[in-house]
């Protein structure tokens, strides 16, 4: 029988640490359900002690997820670990993932602790966590840049205390595949009780090698858990991307010889959900989930694929879920069909009133757009969730005028804390005029770092435009996302959504601070 390789998804924890990618509890729940549908082995749902918001999100996920193990990160101290255990109480299967830095640089400059102090704290943390749950994972942060002898002592000690998974992070994305694989191999050889734990890899993508490093950790190092995120979401250049690592293992099973339990047909829906939720757009040429990943533009390739698919295709688009991009509903679809599609997409609206409100928006959209795709439904429900969460700013109406040779002008009506505001402005273009009009009332002082428009379902101008706006203010970065067939309206929604996020006070402790 082939070995099993465990997939540990950290989109909701390490992925969310990406500036602007923070998600609400409901958004996290929706993604967690999708990860479970994909049959991910472990879902790292958050870092419970970092904020009340994260605690509530981990708790909510622990209470609904039944198949996957739900995990919370915790620094190596009793308070963090107790908080993680508390949040995980309702889980069918739970894991506490505790960590402390072990590289000289981190211990000296960041922690200001000696080697012996770090070793003792790691040991006590795992002992404490094991009193609260059987399933404990330990990570030596910046493990790959740590001294091998010291790291081996720490790892041996935490395994003796009962850590079942040992994860070796390449925290700063410094590794090279062969070197990282050998590092893990040597470390396992040096740790006398190495066989008492599952070894895990956790690679960041600063040099673009997170997937290659993870796979080397598996093949050379003997790791049997890969930590990864959907779309490779994560701080800086991101984490190892789940879809790439999983499809490498499945497509080249002849080489890897390992079983992965993932239902790959759920990959593209998961990718879309994460990108729509966070506003982190997937590049068209991204492996597996990019819009062009299965598009054959050159005549020679098209001809070949028509004659025999495997001339130019190593994976089938439908096997990773591209078939999900189908017309699902239209103008004549009724409330029941809409409700059923919500269920199939794993979207649980809280009450019948919410379903009714979402259905009205759906009807409104179907009047303006012939074919409604899953992505449209997701965008619409996300809009509805925003309105339902009674966000501070909310778009009421927008009119704008642009004409060749004239300076564009916008008039907007929006509510702020329930009070209606009207504003007007000129601008370089209709979007600029609209955002200036909003700012003339709000005076947020935020700096815009990014503005981007994408067609939600690609392919045609009939698609809804999805706009992402990234704002920075007072040291915080947030992404706002808005969708509408009219891209100026989508821009106003995205801008107001970003302002709403700047308003929210859910500050968190940095996971690696």
Q: Which is nearer to ligand KIV, 227 or 376 (CB)?
A: 227
Place of tokens 């990570």: 139
Select from 46, 53, 169, 408 the one that contacts ligand KIV (CB under 6 A).
169
Cβ 242 to Zn ion shortest distance, Å: 14
Q: Which does 144 bind (CB under 5 to 8 A by kind): ligand KIV, Zn ion, none?
A: none
Chosen from Zn ion, ligand KIV, none, partner binding at 511 (C-beta under 5 to 8 Å by type): ligand KIV
Question: Taking CB under 6 A as the criterion, which residues in 85-104 touch ligand KIV?
Answer: 99
Q: What is the rounded distance in angstroms from the CA atom of residue 35 to the CA atom of residue 22?
A: 17
Work out how close the CB of 368 gets to Zn ion at its nearest, in angstroms, rounded to a whole number.
Answer: 42
Residue nearer to ligand KIV on the CB measure, 18 or 325: 18
- CA-CA distance, 94 to 136, in Å (whole number)? 9
- Is the CB of residue 295 less than 8 Å from the CB of residue 332? no
In angstroms, what is the minimal distance from the CB of 11 to Zn ion?
Answer: 12
Q: Pick from Zn ion, ligand KIV, none: which does 106 bind, CB < 5 to 8 A by kind?
A: none
Distance, CA of 393 to CA of 441 (rounded, Å): 11
Q: Does 141 bind ligand KIV (CB under 6 A)?
A: yes
Mapping DSSP onto H, E and C, the string for 222-254 reads CCCEEEEEHHHCCCCCCECEHHHHHHHHHHCHH
Provide the b/e sequence for 405-443 (b: ≥16 CB within 10 Å).
eeebbbbbebebeeeebebebebeebbbbbbbbbbeebe
- Is residue 6 classed as helix, strand or coil in its secondary structure? strand
Evaluate whether 144 touches 168 at the Cβ level (below 8 Å): yes
Taking the least distance from each CB to ligand KIV, the nearer of 141 and 375 is 141
Q: Which is nearer to Zn ion, 33 or 145 (CB)?
A: 145
Which partner, ligand KIV, Zn ion, none, binds residue 99 by CB below 5 to 8 Å per kind?
ligand KIV
CA 18 distance to own-chain centroid: 9
The two three-digit tokens of residue 490, written as one number = 């989508």
- Kindly tell me which of 101 and 435 has the beta carbon lying closer to Zn ion: 101
Query: How many residues contact ligand KIV, by CB under 6 A?
Result: 10
Which residues are CB-neighbours of 301 under 8 A, at least 6 positions away?
Answer: 311, 312
| 102-131: contacts with ligand KIV (CB under 6 A) | none
Task: Considering the complex, state which of residue 99 and residue 373 has its C-beta at the smaller distance from ligand KIV.
Answer: 99
Quote the least distance from Cβ 204 to Zn ion, whole Å. Answer: 6
Q: What are phi and psi of 265, to 5 degrees?
A: -65, -10
CB of 203 to ligand KIV, least distance (A): 8
Determine which helix (DSSP H) or strand (DSSP E) holds 429, and give its type and residue range: none
- Supply the minimum distance, in Å, between the C-beta of residue 115 and ligand KIV: 18
User: What is the sign of the dihedral through the CA atoms of 371, 367, 271 and 346?
Assistant: negative
Contact 100, 76 (CB under 8 A): yes
Task: Measure the CA–CA gap between 363 and 450, rounded to whole angstroms.
Answer: 31
As measured in angstroms, the least distance from the Cβ of 85 to ligand KIV is: 18
How far apart, in whole angstroms, are the C-alpha atoms of residue 226 and residue 245? 8
Residues 261-290 that bind ligand KIV (CB under 6 A): none
Q: 274, 11 in Cβ contact below 8 A?
A: yes
For Zn ion, give the closer residue by CB, 14 or 36: 14
List all residues 6 or more positions away from 53 whose beta carbon is below 8 Å from its beta carbon.
24, 25, 506, 508
Q: Which residue is nearest to Zn ion (CB)?
A: 14
Give the residue with the Cβ less far from Zn ion, 14 or 391. Answer: 14
Contact pick of 146, 171, 200, 454 for ligand KIV (by CB under 6 A): 171
Side-chain-facing half-sphere of 370: CA atoms under 13 Å: 4
Residues that bind Zn ion in the complex, under the rule CB under 5 A: 14
Among 24, 94, 98, 139, binds ligand KIV (CB under 6 A): 139
* Min CB(73)–ligand KIV separation in Å: 6
Phi, psi at residue 482, to the nearest 5°? Answer: -140, 145
**Cα angle for residues 351, 357, 359 (degrees, 5° grid):** 105
For Zn ion, which is the closer residue by CB, 169 or 482?
169
How near is the Cβ of 512 to ligand KIV at its closest, in Å? Answer: 6
The least distance separating ligand KIV from the CB of residue 217, rounded to whole angstroms, comes to 14
Site for ligand KIV in 11-30 (CB under 6 A): 14
Using CB distances below 5 to 8 A depending on partner kind, what does residue 139 bind out of Zn ion, ligand KIV, none?
A: ligand KIV
> Among residues 14 and 137, whose Cβ is nearest to Zn ion?
14
- What residues contact 327, with CB distance under 8 A and at least 6 apart? 371, 372, 373
Beta bridge partners of 397: 413
For ligand KIV, which is the closer residue by CB, 216 or 382? 216
Binding mask 178-217 for ligand KIV (x = CB under 6 A): ------------------------x-x-------------
* Residue among 47 and 495 whose Cβ is closer to ligand KIV: 47
Shortest CB 91 distance to Zn ion, Å: 22
Backbone angles phi, psi at 241, to 5 degrees: -90, 130
Minimum CB–partner distance for residue 62 and ligand KIV (Å): 19
Binding site for ligand KIV (CB under 6 A): 14, 99, 139, 141, 169, 171, 202, 204, 511-512
């Amino acid at each position: 029988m082939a070995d099993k390789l465990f997939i540990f998804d950290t989109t909701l924890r390490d992925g969310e640490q990406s500036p602007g990618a923070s998600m609400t509890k409901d958004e996290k729940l929706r993604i967690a359900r999708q990860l479970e549908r994909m049959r991910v082995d472990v879902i790292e749902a958050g870092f419970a002690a970092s904020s009340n918001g994260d605690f509530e999100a981990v708790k909510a996920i622990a209470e609904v997820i039944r198949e996957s193990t739900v995990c919370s990160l915790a620094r190596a101290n009793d308070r963090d670990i107790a908080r993680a255990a508390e949040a995980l109480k309702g889980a069918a299967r739970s894991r506490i993932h505790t960590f402390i830095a072990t590289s000289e640089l981190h211990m000296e400059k960041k922690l200001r602790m000696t080697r012996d102090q770090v070793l003792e704290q790691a040991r006590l943390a795992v002992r404490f966590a094991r009193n609260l749950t059987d399933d404990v994972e330990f990570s030596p942060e910046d493990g790959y840049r740590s001294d091998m002898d010291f790291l081996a002592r720490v790892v041996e000690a935490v395994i003796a205390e009962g850590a079942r998974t040992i994860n070796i992070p390449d925290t700063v994305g410094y590794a090279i595949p062969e070197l990282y694989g050998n590092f893990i191999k040597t470390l396992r050889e040096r740790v006398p009780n190495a066989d008492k734990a599952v070894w895990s890899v956790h690679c960041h993508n600063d040099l673009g090698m997170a997937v290659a490093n993870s796979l080397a950790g598996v093949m050379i190092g003997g790791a049997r858990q890969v930590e990864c995120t959907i779309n490779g979401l994560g701080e800086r250049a991101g984490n190892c991307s789940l879809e790439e690592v999983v499809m490498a293992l499945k497509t080249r099973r002849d080489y890897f010889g390992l079983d992965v339990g993932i239902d790959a047909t759920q990959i593209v829906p998961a990718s879309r959900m994460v990108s729509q939720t966070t506003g982190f757009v997937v590049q068209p040429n991204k492996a597996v989930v990019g819009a062009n990943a299965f598009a054959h533009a050159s005549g020679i390739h098209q001809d070949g694929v028509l004659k025999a698919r495997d001339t130019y295709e190593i994976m089938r688009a439908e096997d990773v879920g591209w078939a999900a991009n189908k017309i699902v509903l239209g103008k004549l679809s009724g409330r029941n069909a809409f409700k059923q599609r919500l269920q199939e997409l794993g979207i649980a609206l809280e009450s019948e009133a919410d379903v009714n409100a979402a259905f009205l928006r759906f009807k409104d959209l179907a009047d303006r757009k012939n074919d409604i795709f899953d992505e449209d439904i997701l965008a619409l429900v996300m809009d509805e969730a925003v309105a339902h969460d009674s966000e501070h700013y909310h778009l009421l109406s927008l009119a704008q005028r642009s004409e060749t040779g004239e300076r564009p002008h916008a008039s907007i009506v929006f509510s702020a804390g329930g009070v209606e505001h009207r504003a007007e402005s000129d601008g370089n273009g209709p979007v600029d005029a609209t955002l200036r009009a909003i700012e003339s009332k709000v005076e947020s002082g935020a700096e815009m770092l990014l503005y981007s428009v994408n067609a939600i379902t690609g392919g045609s101008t009939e698609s809804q435009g999805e706009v992402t706006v990234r704002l920075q203010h007072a040291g915080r970065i947030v992404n706002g996302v808005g969708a509408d067939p009219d891209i100026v309206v989508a821009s106003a929604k995205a801008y107001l959504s970003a302002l709403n996020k700047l308003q929210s006070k859910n500050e968190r402790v940095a996971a690696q601070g």
